[in-house]
């Protein structure tokens, strides 16, 4: 397992370098002059040129990229044009809020998707299977903004069980996380059902049943473990998307997360903030992918040896 982990870590290095190149390109090749955005349209050409020289933006690109990498290694991602604060200080609260939202969302996604998928697979062709798959199709098809507005109207305005916006205690995270989890949970349920049906037809499952093992033991210990690879893959992708910022849910519920912050940064044309956000999101997605690969090795030792 150690060799497998080291190999995956080494494979992550060129990916991370590619991420830094992308973030660097956003700053230098995006629309507009970053110095003009920093100083304002009224700044004279002489002042713009002096500021460009002060920031080292008049140097060759390879020199700027080397300095960019060095700053990243020191935790310096630049200064926000809008707030005039270090980018990390601006992003840190939004990142914490997104991590909170992502954690609750993933928990709800698993609690919704895997049990529903198992129930549908073990009752294939029956009324429970047909009903659950119809509901999951509705969950996949319904737009997130529509689901969020319905939840907001019913549970925040009608029953007043949860706050309608902001991050004011644990109840504030329920509606935005449920908005995302209903969609991802429906996808996970269908994937779990498909993977379980494929495994439940294998000879060793029939043998386990013939030996008189309890149905729950057969389903959860033998079938679910061997059906876990596609399920884990989908969970990893979903975690990456959630960490990247569920912009719609964060906007509807005014959740102060990373996705909403970056959307505003794009509207503000705050290039350093957008650059840092892309860098952080891509890095988190890469780390999630690495964790999924390592989990593959734990679930199926044959993957490690290949």
Q: What local confidence, expressed as pLDDT, does residue 108 receive? A: 92
Mean pLDDT (whole number) for 48-59: 75
pLDDT digits (tens, 9 = 90+) for 197-208: 888 777 777 776
Position with higher pLDDT, 6 vs 146: 146
Mean pLDDT (whole number) for 294-302: 69
| The three-state (H, E, C) secondary structure of the chain, written as one string | CHHHHHHHHHHHHHHHHHHHHHHHHHHHHCCCCHHHHHHCCCCCHHHHHHHHHHCCCCCCHHHHHHHHHHHHHCCCCCECCCCCCEHHHHHHHHHHHHHHHHHHHHHHHHHHHHHHHHHHHHCCCCHHHHHHHHHHHHHHHCCHHHHHHHHHHHHHHHCCCCCCCCCCCHHHHHHHHHHHHHHHHHHHHHHHHHHHHHHHCCHHHHHHHHCCCCHHHHHHHHHHHHCHHHHHHHHHHHHHHHHCCCHHHHHHCCCCCHHHHHHHHHHHCCHHHHHHHHHHHHHHHHHHHHHHHHHHHHHCHHHHHC
pLDDT digits (tens, 9 = 90+) for 55-70: 777 788 888 888 888 8
Band of the pLDDT at 284, cuts 50, 70, 90?
A: confident
Mean pLDDT (whole number) for 182-188: 91
Q: What local confidence, expressed as pLDDT, does residue 111 receive? A: 92
Under DSSP, is residue 280 helix (H, G, I), strand (E, B) or coil?
helix
Mean pLDDT (whole number) for 93-109: 89
Q: What local confidence, expressed as pLDDT, does residue 296 receive? A: 72
The most confident of 11-15, 181-185, 238-242, 269-273, by mean pLDDT: 181-185
Mean pLDDT (whole number) for 101-116: 90
Position with higher pLDDT, 164 vs 104: 104
Q: What is the mean pLDDT of the chain?
A: 81
Asked if residue 183 lies in contact with residue 148, where contact means CB atoms within 8 angstroms, the answer is no
User: 98-269: what CATH class?
Assistant: mainly alpha
Lowest average pLDDT, out of 88-97, 102-111, 127-136, 259-268, goes to: 259-268
Report pTM: 0.80
């Amino acid at each position: 397992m150690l060799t497998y982990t080291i190999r995956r870590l080494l494979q992550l290095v060129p990916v991370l370098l590619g991420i830094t190149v992308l973030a660097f390109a956003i700053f230098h090749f995006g629309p507009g002059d970053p110095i003009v955005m920093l100083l304002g349209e009224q700044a004279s050409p002489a002042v713009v040129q002096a500021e460009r020289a002060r920031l080292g933006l008049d140097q060759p690109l390879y020199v700027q990229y080397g300095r960019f990498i060095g700053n990243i290694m020191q935790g310096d991602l630049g200064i926000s044009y809008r707030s005039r604060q270090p980018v990390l200080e601006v992003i840190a609260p939004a990142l914490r809020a997104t991590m909170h939202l992502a954690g609750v969302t993933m928990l709800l996604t698993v609690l919704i998707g895997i049990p529903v998928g198992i129930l549908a697979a073990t009752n294939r062709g029956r009324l429970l299977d047909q009903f659950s798959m119809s509901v999951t199709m509705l969950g996949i098809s319904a737009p997130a903004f529509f689901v969020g507005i319905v939840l907001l109207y019913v549970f925040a305005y009608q029953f007043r069980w949860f706050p309608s916006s902001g991050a004011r205690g644990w109840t504030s995270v329920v509606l935005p996380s449920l908005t995302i989890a209903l969609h991802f949970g429906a996808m996970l349920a269908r994937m779990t059902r498909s993977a379980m049906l494929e495994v439940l037809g294998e000879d060793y499952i029939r043998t386990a049943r013939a030996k008189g093992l309890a149905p729950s033991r057969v389903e959860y210990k033998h079938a679910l473990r061997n059906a876990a690879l596609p399920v884990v893959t989908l969970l990893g992708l979903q975690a990456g998307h959630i960490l990247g910022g569920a912009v719609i849910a964060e906007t509807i519920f005014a959740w102060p997360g990373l996705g909403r912050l970056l959307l505003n940064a794009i509207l503000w044309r705050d290039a350093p903030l957008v650059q840092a956000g892309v860098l952080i999101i891509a890095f988190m997605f890469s780390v999630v992918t690495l964790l999924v690969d390592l989990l593959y090795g734990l679930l199926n030792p044959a993957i490690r040896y290949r």
